[in-house]
Amino acid sequence: MNCRLAAGWLEPVRRLPSPNCDQRPVDTAIDLLVVHNISLPPGHFDNGCIDALFTNQLDPIAHPTFRGLEGCTVSAHLLIDRHGSLTQYVPFHMRAWHAWESFFQQRTRCNDFSIGIELEGCDDVPYERVQYLRLAEVIRLLQKHYPALNQERIVGHSDIAPQRKTDPGKAFDWACLFTLLAGADESG
């Protein structure tokens, strides 16, 4: 992947702007990266439903599990699908609505100071190797622009909202990600 960051957007990456974002508080440093998972319906992939959710176009009657999402306004900065393709919904300097009620190191409202990256997946289905490779590549690029995003500040959604979230789940291999970030294994 040969990406660059320009005006908060990765280029060349598929861009699908979400209305579910706003300005970060003034003088707030970006110093946390939150890894999430998402699949709609749960356990189903490659169907466009994530794009629909993040752009407020998900049909609540298309699947029984969507009924609870009606009127839900959520987003993430970036999605890495099962094939390793990237879709960016919110520029990194803006606040995406991915973490909601959350807490990290005596700070609340993690959306204010974090970047949210969704992996297409679910808690108990192994992620694809290409997703780890893409995630590591993206993180390394982001670390050049946001140097506070060190290993201790790369967390799962479950770490900042443990009472209500479990993602990225037990299937996520943190050791693999951190090995890739260290550059010990960059083969595909």
Q: Is 37 in contact with 169 (CB distance < 8 Å)?
A: yes
Q: Which structural domain, as residue segments, surrounds residue 134?
A: 4-181
Comparing CA positions, the residue from 39, 61, 62, 181 lying closest to residue 124 is: 39
Count of domains forming the chain: 1
Choosing from 11, 70, 101, 118, which is the catalytic residue? Answer: 118
Q: Please state the pTM of the whole predicted model.
A: 0.96
The DSSP bridge partners found for residue 88 are 15, 78
- The answer to the question of residue 76 being in a domain is yes
- The answer to the question of residue 88 being in a domain is yes
Question: Is residue 186 annotated as part of the catalytic site, yes or no?
Answer: no
Structure token digits, residue 125: 């289905």
- The answer to the question of residue 103 being in a domain is yes
Question: What's the pLDDT tens digit per position in 52-103?
Answer: 999 999 999 999 999 999 999 999 999 999 999 999 999 999 999 999 999 9
- The answer to the question of residue 187 being in a domain is no
CATH code of 10's domain? 3.40.80.10
What does the pLDDT profile of the chain (188 residues) look like in tens digits? 789 999 999 999 999 999 999 999 999 999 999 999 999 999 999 999 999 999 999 999 999 999 999 999 999 999 999 999 999 999 999 999 999 999 999 999 999 999 999 999 999 999 999 999 999 999 999 999 999 999 999 999 999 999 999 999 999 999 999 999 998 555 54
- The answer to the question of residue 186 being in a domain is no
- The answer to the question of residue 70 being in a domain is yes
